Structure 1
Amino acid sequence: MHPDLQRDLLELLREPALERLLEALHASLVKHGEPRGRVEIRDDDEAHALQGIIGKRFTPGKKASVAEIDRMLRENTRFSCSLADAVRMYRGGGPIVRPKVVKAQAAAAREQAVRRCFEQVAGLGLSAQAYSRVIGWMHAAEMNLRKKAGAWGEQPLLDAVRAVALAFGRMPERNGPPVYLAELAAQITGDAKAFDATQPAGRLLLRALAYYHRDVAAREKPGSAAWKTALLTEAGIARDPISVHVDTFGLTGDTPYLRELRRAALTRSMNLDNLVAIADDVRAWNGVAFVVENPTVFAALTNTVRRLYRAENHPTLVCTNGNLNPADWKLLEALCATGALLFYSGDFDVRGLGIMTGLLNRYPEAASPWRMTPDDYVAALRDGSTALDSAGLERVKAVFPDLVAKMTERGQAAHHEALIRRFEDDLDRWVRRGITPPRRGEGPRSSSAAGIRP
């Protein structure tokens, strides 16, 4: 349209009496996508203003055909433009957006983004195992990936999926050297914070890990700090070599540091960096380590051991402080590598049984529950105990059938702090007579430690 005609038409369209009618015409075009339907001409002012543009007067209080208004604009005016062109001009030139069309276009864009994610992963050169795991998660998470494509856009989604896929390609073997989260992110993306939980790649990495480690994910509240740490730990990823630690007492080994530590009878919190340095030298006293979930139990037992026995006869005690972190696993792996037996005790709840299940899965020949029988559970019950998560118990029922049956019957959790006296008796039998607690599937076992004088 010639600029002079455009100026004249805009002047007519900006007549105040037409404001409501033009918005009604715009709504009709949005709804139908073409001139269809009817709009009401409310009063004489609207009828007169519309007549000034198209040359025809409609009766006030009646409805006018949108198609007829469009035809009159095209054929009977000097402007020769469509109603859609006139409305766009009045509204500033932007397109008339139809929600259905926009929705369809957005859905198509999301589908394209997800399809490109799959194509991208296929070209990353991952190992067969890593590729299978990533693709399996992506198929299960397609709905979420579409949602993220809409929220983040295609390229951020592609970048995040690529980072997660490459991370799976660099996951350590079980019990292999730890991988540090910031280093992994920097190597893959160039940004050390890319796998932070607030970043797209970090969010997707946690979702992928939760998909493959469902039992671990189910122990903690989704999205909590404990949930994130547990998932990263299960994958062999530590946040850094310093912040994760394991509490120890009574370790032994043929190095000046370990000999002095034992002689001093001190508890020692060891971070992952230190454990990597001493892993080849560390040992459990007489090949047995007692592992507890709770620091209160750990402190009570170390105090008892100091009071009753000479330092050279102190048993090895380890405290995980809840879910096992990379430092816990590093120490236990080092001990098992030298043939140590592990006896673990935790709370009688979903988390405690889940931790024990993880230990049994990883060290089936070395790990055994310690004081986690139905009888011990009943002895640990106290008034006011919290209710149990019955669904969570079902996940470990196959591992602890008798215990889970009793816990389901009582419906309450119990804490292993109530069993400290029993733990002390077990340690005394071990130190004085060299008799371990019952091993899984076996009875108590004697060792060369028998006959030790405290």
Structure 2
Amino acid sequence: MNPDLERDLLMMLRSPHMARLLEVFRERLVRHGEPKGRVTIETRLEADALADIIGKQVKEGGSIGLAEVDLLLREKSAFHCSLVDAIKLASGKPIIRPKVERERERAARERAVSRCFALLPELSLSPESYARVVSWMQAGRDGLRRDAGRWGEAELLAAVRAVALALHHAPSRHEPPVYLAELANRVTGAGAHGLDAKRPAGTLLLRALEFFFPDTARRERRGSSAWRTNLLSEARIARDPVSIRVDTFGLMGDMPYLRELRRAALTRSLNLDDLAQIGQQVRCWNGCVFVAENPTVFALLFRHLREKHREENHATLVCTNGNLNLADWTLLESLIGSGAHVYYCGDFDVRGLEIAAALLTRFPEAVSPWRMTADDYISAIQAGKNKLDPTGLQRVNRHFPELVREMSKRGLAADQESSLIEMLKRDLNRFVLEGIAPPRWNEPPGHSSRRHTAQV
């Protein structure tokens, strides 16, 4: 069609009286893939507008078949084009059937995911990092395909590249933590916020960490702030040096700060920046550190030590305030590295047992549950009324088979701050006065031995 005829046809098609007819024509072509069906002419103005284009009069209230419109456009009109060509000209875009469009989008998503895999060899990852990234991407192919549809190929490639590099540069268990903004600057090219949770790279990083640390991911509601913080902590990635903390009492060390803190018998919250300054020098009293999940238990215990014992004999206490964050892990790693044994007491619920299981998994030789036997649970539920979902307990059954069996049978959660607190205090008294610590993990029930070592 020459340009003059095309311009004339376009002007006719853009008549407001053709708008409804064009919409119907396009819908039928998309549905059938060819000119099929009939359309009713509703007004005289529609009839006149269509007649000007196809060169044949049509009646108001009558109908005309799409095949006839197509034939008249091809053979009788001045334009000699198909109905499909006319609809393309009017809308400025091709007519694509849904099935064809879906197949085209599927192919584009698959191509984008394949390009993500092809990108990895260019990043100079270590063999270990390369294997980890590939395993996550293979397991999460469906998610990557959906991401390609949401973000487009270029955005997906940039996000996968950033996550692969972030996992490569993430510190090992024994290295200092890295801060999220610094890591984002290093791997995304999008500034300090490149790994924020709502950005593509941040979304993929959390999804990768969820794959690598499934037990941690299950402990909090997916997508919550605690869920994100816990996953980043597992990879030793912190949001900043000061926003997370670990609460302490009775720490020891050669620094004047630690000596004065202990002499004053004060509790202290330590953030990651604090721990970076004192981590190599911090010690616990006489080789043992007593860790409480519950801040109320922590408060009752440090007040007991202050009231009943002299400052130089205060046992070392730590409070995790629920799930362990990166500050908790960092302090415990420093203490264990200096030879400490950790005694952990948590509530008798799924979260309390999961924290204990996480500690036992990471430090199997240096951690013992404290007052967390089946007998302790029975004592604690005397006043307990909280219902417990037994299905969640199965995740920790490997570590606590007898306790899980008892808790599943009774179906009640319990805390340690009621009937067990006096037992915890007696354990601390015995440790301070007689040098006898609670039983260690897997020792026979009722067994205890002298743990007192030379004071550090």
**If the TM-score is normalised by the length of the shorter chain, which range does it land in?**
over 0.9
Q: Deviations over 1:318-347 (max 9, x none)?
A: 111111112111211111112111100111
Number of matched pairs: 449
Secondary structure of 1:299's match? helix
Q: Which amino acid aligns with 1:165?
A: A
CA 1:55–1:345 in 2, change beyond 3 Å: closer, same or farther?
A: same
CA 1:253–1:26 in 2, change beyond 3 Å: closer, same or farther?
A: closer
Structure 1: distance between partners of 2:91 and 2:163: 44
Secondary structure of 1:176's match? coil
Structure 2: distance between partners of 1:16 and 1:225: 53
Structure 2: distance between partners of 1:280 and 1:44: 88
- After superposition, residues 85-164 of structure 1 pair within 5 angstroms as 85-89=85-89, 91-164=90-163
| The one of 429, 436, 450 aligned to 1:446 | 450
Counterpart in 2 of 1:374? 374
Asked whether 1:84 is paired with 2:84, we answer yes
Counterpart in 2 of 1:330? 330
Counterpart in 1 of 2:183? 184
Secondary structure of 1:417's match? coil
Percentage identity across paired residues of the two chains: 56
Unaligned runs of 5+ in 2: none
Structure 1: distance between partners of 2:121 and 2:112: 15
Structure 1: distance between partners of 2:279 and 2:92: 71
Structure 2: distance between partners of 1:436 and 1:280: 25
Q: Which amino acid aligns with 2:214?
A: R
Q: Which amino acid aligns with 1:174?
A: R
Structure 1: distance between partners of 2:93 and 2:214: 49
Deviation at 1:125, TM superposition (A): 1.7
Structure 2: distance between partners of 1:44 and 1:215: 67
Counterpart in 2 of 1:33? 33
Counterpart in 2 of 1:404? 404
CA 1:19–1:340 in 2, change beyond 3 Å: closer, same or farther?
A: closer
- After superposition, residues 236-315 of structure 1 pair within 5 angstroms as 236-315=236-315
Secondary structure of 2:270's match? strand
Deviation at 1:184, TM superposition (A): 1.0
Structure 2: distance between partners of 1:247 and 1:22: 71
CA contact (8 A) 2:293 2:322 kept: yes
Asked whether 1:71 is paired with 2:75, we answer no
Deviation at 1:352, TM superposition (A): 1.0
CA 1:8–1:327 in 2, change beyond 3 Å: closer, same or farther?
A: closer
Deviation at 1:391, TM superposition (A): 2.8
Deviating more after overlay: 285-294 vs 47-56: 47-56
CA 1:202–1:93 in 2, change beyond 3 Å: closer, same or farther?
A: closer
Deviation at 1:61, TM superposition (A): 6.5
Deviation at 1:23, TM superposition (A): 2.7
CA 1:11–1:301 in 2, change beyond 3 Å: closer, same or farther?
A: closer
Deviation at 1:139, TM superposition (A): 1.3
Counterpart in 1 of 2:227? 227
Secondary structure of 1:371's match? coil
State the superposition RMSD in angstroms: 2.3
CA contact (8 A) 1:41 1:64 kept: yes
Structure 2: distance between partners of 1:118 and 1:152: 17
Unaligned runs of 5+ in 1: none
Counterpart in 2 of 1:170? 169
Secondary structure of 1:40's match? strand
Q: Deviations over 1:233-259 (max 9, x none)?
A: 111112222222111111122332222
Q: Which amino acid aligns with 2:112?
A: A
Q: Which amino acid aligns with 1:94?
A: K
CA contact (8 A) 1:345 1:372 kept: yes
Structure 2: distance between partners of 1:162 and 1:19: 47
CA 1:44–1:409 in 2, change beyond 3 Å: closer, same or farther?
A: closer
Structure 2: distance between partners of 1:53 and 1:175: 78
Q: Which amino acid aligns with 2:430?
A: R
Structure 2: distance between partners of 1:313 and 1:11: 95
Q: Deviations over 1:146-171 (max 9, x none)?
A: 11111111111111111111111112
Secondary structure of 1:96's match? coil
- After superposition, residues 333-344 of structure 1 pair within 5 angstroms as 333-344=333-344
Deviation at 1:114, TM superposition (A): 1.0
